Amino acid sequence: MPTEQFWHLAWFTPIMLAFWIPAFIFHDCLVLLGWPWWQNGLACMAFAILWTGLVERWSRRYLAGRRMRALTEGELDDAQEAPVPSPAQSRKLPVFATHESGTTRTRGCSAGRESSLPG
């Protein structure tokens, strides 16, 4: 599951409390240090990036372990054991030139021949 989807699903769960309560405590400690506003902002950004990753990792590990225990103890029925298909699809080149592709496709000319963009 991608990170954005994980945090979207975790929005109204105790996982968010595990993120926000230490974040508020960290922010209050920064304010007590008396640093300039921009140093507080950088420290909060660094904390948020690191703490988000840790909370996500620990939560995923806990939830996966809980699911495995439920599967081994037979608490889940067969309908919940079906694998979920991956949302990843093959990446195609865009019809119009974008900054990411660097190439453009021509419609209706010689079966989709690609030409490089100038410059």
**Backbone dihedral angles phi then psi of residue 111, each to the nearest 5 degrees:** 55, 50
Burial class (CB in 10 A: 0-12, 13-18, 19+), 36: exposed
pLDDT in tens, 32-42: 988 888 999 99
* Three-state secondary structure call for residue 104: strand
Q: How confident is the model at residue 74 (pLDDT cuts 50, 70, 90)?
A: confident
pLDDT in tens, 1-53: 577 787 788 888 888 888 889 999 999 998 898 888 899 999 999 999 999 88
- Nearest one of 43, 53, 51, 46 to 20, comparing CA atoms: 51
Residues 6+ away with beta carbon under 8 Å from 60: 6
CB 6 within 8 Å of CB 60: yes
* Three-state secondary structure call for residue 69: helix
Whole-number pLDDT of residue 43: 92
The rounded distance, in Å, linking the Cα atoms of 45 and 76 is: 40
Residues 6+ away with beta carbon under 8 Å from 94: 101, 105
